[in-house]
Structure 1
Amino acid sequence: MAAHTPRTAGGASGARDLRETAHAAQVRELTAAGALDDPHWRAAFAAVPRHVFVPYFWTGRGAGHERLWSEDPDPERRARWLRGVYADAPLATRLRDGELLSSSSQPSLMARMLEALGVRDGDNVLEIGAGTGYNAALLCHRLGADRVTTVDLDEEITESARSHLAALGYRPAVVTGDGARGCPSRAPFDRIMVTCTLPRVPYAWLGQCRPGARILSPLSTGLIALTVRDSAPGFAEGRFLHTPAYFVPLRGATAAPPDRDASPHGVPYDLVDNERFRFLLVLTAGVLHPREALDLWRREDRPARERFGVTVTPEGQWSWLDDPRGPYTWPLGP
């Protein structure tokens, strides 16, 4: 993102102008990149400034973390903060003992997920993972705050998100609780959008959905789009989008720990970081040995994400290649 920040600016008015300029440039760049084809979401991104939701973020790793914030007395550091906020990149917004707890997702990925969610006027949406509140604000602009519920396990995160949203006049339901359990008191939902990665799909969500509802969630290193069937209670099925996605893991009582082995034992070095193969490796971890996954991947002509899908039923859930009742199926999660 090439938001050029001059060294001098005339006080509060100048700072506001810089932020507005950087915000407008981001919307233009996302539109030019094809991430904002839907005019409703283009209007939402233009109306909701990201800097309100990211007053500070962390850069670096391990002991080298550095905090950049909007009120830093050093103008160069403030400029770095502004460039970071309006870059098309994820930002670490909350750390605890060096562990990433919450982040602001990459704006282009957020835009593509919102478009893939397929919301319609009047839809009720549940967001799992409140984060900074930025995504909830975009949903509020599109649907109205009374149609939006966002849930997070951490009270500090929900309180911060609530404050950010209120600063722009948005007051959706911001709930502190285990996202894996959904939000029964606000159900039923037409759409569920998840902003944290899962080992499997919490079954409680299906019971809180209207027939025909869509659930869009990170899984493995991709995004699964499930449709809740009206002909079979408690049944949902769908395919992965082509988009890669990496999110902070879901936390909570019913969120399984990532204890399945996805290390690439016996895999050629040049494939260790292959995006398509890594997706299959993580999806089938604990079920297929990495060498078996590699043999399948080669035999099936290096399948892209969209050839894979997931089925959720009262009896269990599984991922599959090409056909949910075909020869290649694998149970999901423990």
Structure 2
Amino acid sequence: MVNNGAEQIAMRGLLGTLNEALSGAIAPEWERAFWAAPRHAFLPEKVWVGDDLAVCTRSADPSAWLHTAYADGPVVTQINDGADPSNGERWPSSSASAPSIVIRMLTMLSVANGHRVLEIGTGTGWNAGLLSHRLGAGLVTTVEVDPALAAQAAASLKAVGLEPQVVTGDGAAGYAAGAPYDRVIATCSVRQVPRAWVEQTKPGGVILTPWESPWFCYGLLRLTVDGQGLASGWFSPHSAFMLMRNQRTDLRIYRDVVRDEHLPTESITRLSPWAVTGDDWAAQFAIGLQLRNVWRTWHNDPDVDGVASRLWLATTDAASWAAVDWDGRTDDRFTVWEHGPRRLWAAVEVAYQWWRSMGRPGPDRFGMTITPEGEHVAWLDRPEQRVPDLS
């Protein structure tokens, strides 16, 4: 497990960082698990760091690799779904989550002795290792869609003497053979909570999953299952996880959305595009709950006269789009172009104004109910106060 002084020093340093980040000491059972399943034992030889995804290997630079393992940040452990980037484009497809969010989620899960847990998204196996030490490996099942990642995680778990059931398969289907579960935890974000998770959770059981809308990836959703097919609970801030693979949308503005023959309408807005895409995460979260099938992307310095930056919006079915242009000079007047059956920027303005009228609530004032029919109903403060559905 912990083999040398450098590893011990790094682990103690991270524990101190976590105690500060979480505003209190880690619970003793999780600290014991932390030592029994050290994070570095689950990271591969090669990882990618920084915004430019620079390669860091243990053999070439063991000091930098160990520093990466015990920093309180995510570590990219796979790019391009494991394929070689033939055209030079690289994007993260699997990562080890930041230790602080791992411990936060495990605390929120509120496991107790004897609980059976289903984990969706094995990744490196570290989270499954922590759960296995806390509960016993026989009570933990973890599902990973990528066969190579599943095999690597299983080997890492065996190496530290913890062997939960590692299943290769689609996490959206859960794992019916081991159901029912007291707890279901996902380490990937979802835009829709799969029905199988609700069906495989015991009455009174808990589902904890990162949340994402196409507009904004942020927040955790903690649901309690009632045994009648309904699940309901609150959001909390924290976290930005990679989206479950079978819920991805692969859309690009110029490849899939905008066409030369489109004739958009023109208008003017006073709402700054940065007000709904910038540092105000509460605003973005609320807009995403109202517009669950609208995504956006920035295009800086487009090759368009008089345009310094352009915000693109589009529906996930690519049927409607909008562009909001900033001329680089004025900060209270922006040109809007819209095409398709929906006026997307107008919808964003409505969503933003509703959020402001409700007192600018943060994610922890929102909740969601999933009905037996699979409808996802977002609400503010109480289930009776539904969030407008503008999708």
Task: Report the TM-score, using the length of structure 1 for normalisation.
Answer: 0.85
SS of the aligned residue for 1:110 comes to helix
Please give the alpha-carbon distance, in whole angstroms, between the structure 1 residues aligned to 2:388 and 2:112. 33
1:108 and 2:100 are equivalent in the alignment: yes
The 3-state SS of whatever aligns with 2:189 is: coil
Pair 1:128-2:128 in alignment: no
Residue 276 of structure 1, CA deviation: 0.9
Among 342, 345, 360, the alignment partner of 1:302 is 360
Q: CA RMSD in A?
A: 2.3
CA distance in 2 between partners of 1:170 and 1:68 (Å): 27
Aligned to 2:377: 318
Which residues of 2 match residues 1-334 of structure 1 at below 5 A? Answer: 16-33=4-21, 34=23, 36-55=25-44, 56-61=46-51, 64-72=52-60, 77-96=61-80, 97=85, 98-220=90-212, 221-230=218-227, 233-241=228-236, 243-252=237-246, 255=247, 257=249, 266-273=271-278, 274-285=280-291, 286=293, 289-315=347-373, 316-330=375-389
Note if contact 1:317-1:331 (Cα within 8 Å) is conserved in structure 2. Answer: no
1:272 CA drift (Å): 2.4
Please tell me whether the aligned partners of residues 216 and 223 of structure 1 are also in contact (alpha carbons under 8 angstroms).
yes
Q: Take 2:18 and 2:91, find their aligned partners in 1: how far apart are those partners?
A: 30
CA distance in 2 between counterparts of 1:271 and 1:92 reads 28
Q: Which moved more, 1:24-33 or 1:79-88?
A: 24-33
Deviations 1:187-207 (A, max 9, x none): 110000011110111011111
Matched residue type, 1:164: S
Q: Deviations over 1:254-278 (max 9, x none)?
A: x36377x9xxx95452552211112
5+ residue gaps, structure 1, are 1-12
State the Cα distance separating 1:71 from its structure 2 match: 1.8
Once the two structures are TM-superposed, the CA of residue 160 in structure 1 deviates from its matched residue by 0.8
In 2, Cα distance between equivalents of 1:36 and 1:284: 37
1:27–1:46 Cα contact (<8 Å) kept: no
Q: 1:41 to 1:330 in 2, by over 3 A?
A: farther
Shift of 1:327: 4.3
1:142–1:311 Cα change, 3 Å = same
SS in 1 for 2:148: helix
Q: Which moved more, 1:312-321 or 1:34-43?
A: 34-43
Q: TM-score, normalised by structure 2?
A: 0.73
Which shows bigger deviation, 93-102 or 195-204?
93-102
Post-superposition offset of 1:101: 1.4
Residue 66 of structure 1, CA deviation: 2.2
Q: Following the alignment from structure 2 to structure 1, what is the Cα–Cα distance between the partners of residues 184 and 71?
A: 27
Range moving further from structure 2, 131-140 or 313-322:
313-322
1:145-200 Cα offsets, whole Å, 9 max, x none, are 00111101110110011011111011101001000010001111000001111011
2:36–2:160 contact (8 Å) kept in structure 1: no
Q: Gapped runs of 5+ residues in structure 2?
A: 213-217, 254-268, 295-343
